[in-house]
């Protein structure tokens, strides 16, 4: 799953979407509703951002994952995205968890930056209790003591989670490290640790990104990483699934708008 931190404008998103699609990503990410530490920071384009994500999805064929922060926005986000992201800051927003549980959409649940594995699994349980069993868990780093990296990537959580649940587990090396130069190493490590997928920030021009500029890969860097994975993932007994092989997603997309 790859794309910019935030949807900024049409050119930025379409350019990012085309590049991650041609590099072999299986989903497009991009935030329309952004949880920002400061209220002065760019908050995202909201519904206009969702519409741009749909357009990029139509053009590239990639399904969309995007964050929903407010229970009142779940319906509109679910109309525009195939996978609903619950961000780290919202992991214990219980009304939101219940609402996405009722949305009929799969959920990408990110670990809170000070949440234990037990707390992450209880949060997933809120979604399951509404009858929604489609939860993907995401390790994105926890708050550490060392500013050398943005967060401390807890890779041991991957086999711990895999042992304790049947849910797919993905790793986000972008928010875990906060620095583009560290993303490839941690992406490799995540796959070696057994992650089922990766969430990676990619921006056509990282220097100009309005959000998380330091951690975005350039399209050529992302493409090189994907090429490398395809070569050595089989050594780990892993397969990189190309979007055209995702039959269920293809089937779901054909019903779009009906
Ligand atoms: C994001 O995916 O852009 C994001 C805000 O992530 P997190 O919730 O992990 O900080
Ligand atoms: Mn981000």
Q: What pLDDT is stored for residue 244 in this prediction?
A: 57
Ligand in nearest proximity to the CA of 93? 1
Determine the topology of domain 2-236 in CATH.
Answer: TIM Barrel (3.20.20)
pLDDT tens string, the chain, 258 residues long: the values are 999 999 999 999 999 999 999 999 999 999 999 999 999 999 999 999 999 999 999 999 999 999 999 999 999 999 999 999 999 999 999 999 999 999 999 999 999 999 999 999 999 999 999 999 999 999 999 999 999 999 999 999 999 999 999 999 999 999 999 999 999 999 999 999 999 999 999 999 999 999 999 999 999 999 999 999 999 899 988 888 876 544 443 334 333 333
Q: Give me ligand 2 centre to Cα 235, in Å.
A: 31
Enumerate residues lining ligand 1, CB below 6 A.
5, 31, 35, 87-89, 110, 140, 172, 175
Q: What pLDDT is stored for residue 239 in this prediction?
A: 87
Closest C-alpha residue for ligand 1 atom 3: 5
Q: What pLDDT is stored for residue 243 in this prediction?
A: 64
What are the residue ranges spanned by the domains of the chain? 2-236
Closest C-alpha residue for ligand 1 atom 4: 87
- Residue 27, H or E segment: none
Residue in 108, 65, 76, 105 with CA at minimum distance from that of residue 90: 108
Measure the CA–CA gap between 20 and 63, rounded to whole angstroms.
12
DSSP letter assigned to residue 156: T
Helix axes 183-192, 219-232, angle to 10 degrees: 30
Q: What pLDDT is stored for residue 238 in this prediction?
A: 87
- Distances in Å between the Cα of 196 and the Cα atoms of 10, 155, 190, 219, 238 are 30, 13, 9, 22, 9
Q: Looking at ligand 1, which atom is closest to the CA of residue 111?
A: 9
Residue in 28, 71, 35, 20 with CA at minimum distance from that of residue 50: 28
């Amino acid at each position: 799953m790859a794309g910019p931190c935030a949807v900024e404008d049409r050119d930025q998103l379409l350019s990012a979407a085309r590049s991650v699609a041609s590099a072999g990503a299986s989903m497009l990410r991009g935030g329309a509703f952004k949880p920002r530490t400061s209220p002065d920071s760019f908050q995202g384009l909201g519904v206009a951002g969702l519409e741009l994500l749909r357009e990029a999805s139509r053009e590239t064929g990639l399904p969309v994952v995007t964050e929903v922060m407010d229970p009142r926005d779940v319906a509109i986000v679910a109309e525009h995205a195939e996978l609903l992201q619950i961000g780290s800051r919202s992991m214990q927003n219980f009304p939101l968890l219940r609402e996405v549980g009722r949305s009929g959409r799969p959920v990408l649940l990110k670990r809170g930056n000070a949440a234990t594995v037990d707390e992450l699994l209880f949060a997933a349980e809120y979604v399951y209790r509404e009858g929604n069993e489609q939860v993907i868990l995401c390790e994105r780093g926890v708050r550490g003591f060392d500013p050398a990296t943005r967060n401390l990537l807890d890779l041991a959580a991957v086999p711990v989670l895999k042992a304790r649940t049947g849910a797919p587990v993905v790793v986000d090396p972008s928010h875990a490290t906060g620095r583009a130069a560290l993303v490839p190493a941690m992406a490799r490590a995540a796959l070696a640790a057994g992650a089922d997928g990766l969430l990676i920030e990619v921006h056509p021009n990282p220097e100009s990104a309005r959000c998380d500029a330091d951690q975005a890969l350039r399209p050529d860097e992302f493409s090189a990483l994907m090429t490398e994975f395809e070569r050595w993932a089989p050594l780990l007994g892993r397969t990189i699934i190309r979007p055209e092989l995702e039959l269920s997603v293809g089937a779901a997309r054909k019903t779009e708008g009906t």
